[in-house]
Amino acid sequence: MERFAGKIALVTGAARGIGRATAERLAAEGARVVMADVDGAAAAEAADALPGGGFAVRVDVADAQSVKAAVAEVLSRTDGIDVLINNAGIVRDATLAKVTDQMWQSVIDVNLSGTFHLTREVAPLMVARGRGAIVNAASVVGVYGNFGQTSYVASKAGVIGMTRVWARELGKKGVRVNCIAPGFIATDMTASMRADVLASMKEHTPLGRLGRAEDVAAAYAFLASDDAAFINGQVLGVDGGLVVGT
């Protein structure tokens, strides 16, 4: 099934983890994928393995000028962008009294401002063509909060809010905007966690396991595809039932 045949998809945070799995999923379904990451070398290596003529660009999503340059590079090699996956994100967890200004700002800059920077650059290109799909990375904690994640929760709640604003502004112009809200996903970050913490995560998830990067990639692909043509401004939980299990 090639739901993205002939389409250009830009995925941020694409060098590894969920971003890479998403790029691979979109490419397998026919997209020409641009793998965007602050680690340009890793993104280029990953892009070499993609089918469909995919390529990499280096971008620091927290830097508006870097985003402008990256989008300009994409446009120099393609005729536009049909799908934008705002996947790049970081965590700097600490309880409130231990959150430093630098910790706070770095998370806001990447997760919230980064999503804003990319969408501000790409959305007008989609509007000019009268079509496009944007999917943002929120989190289940952006909906319900979580202990020790002040900056991360704030950034992801902000992403949900921006998604709903943009769905209203861009929907009538042919551009859909949605977001996903993953729960506990097995990534490089969770691989370093203690066994008892991982066991607790699984215990609180009714499906009895951590999510896989491929689970999130499938959700991204669905919302970006024409199968979701009448879905706009929504938050899709990808959490194994975590919320109902807590």
Length of the chain: 246
List the alpha helices (DSSP H) in the chain.
17-28, 40-48, 64-77, 101-107, 114-129, 140-144, 150-171, 188-191, 195-203, 213-224, 242-245
20 three-class SS: helix
Active centre residues (catalytic) = 152
130: burial class by Cβ within 10 Å (0-12, 13-18, 19+)? exposed
46: burial class by Cβ within 10 Å (0-12, 13-18, 19+)? buried
Cα separations in angstroms, 207 against 34, 39, 173: 33, 34, 39
Q: Which two tokens stand for residue 129?
A: 């063509």
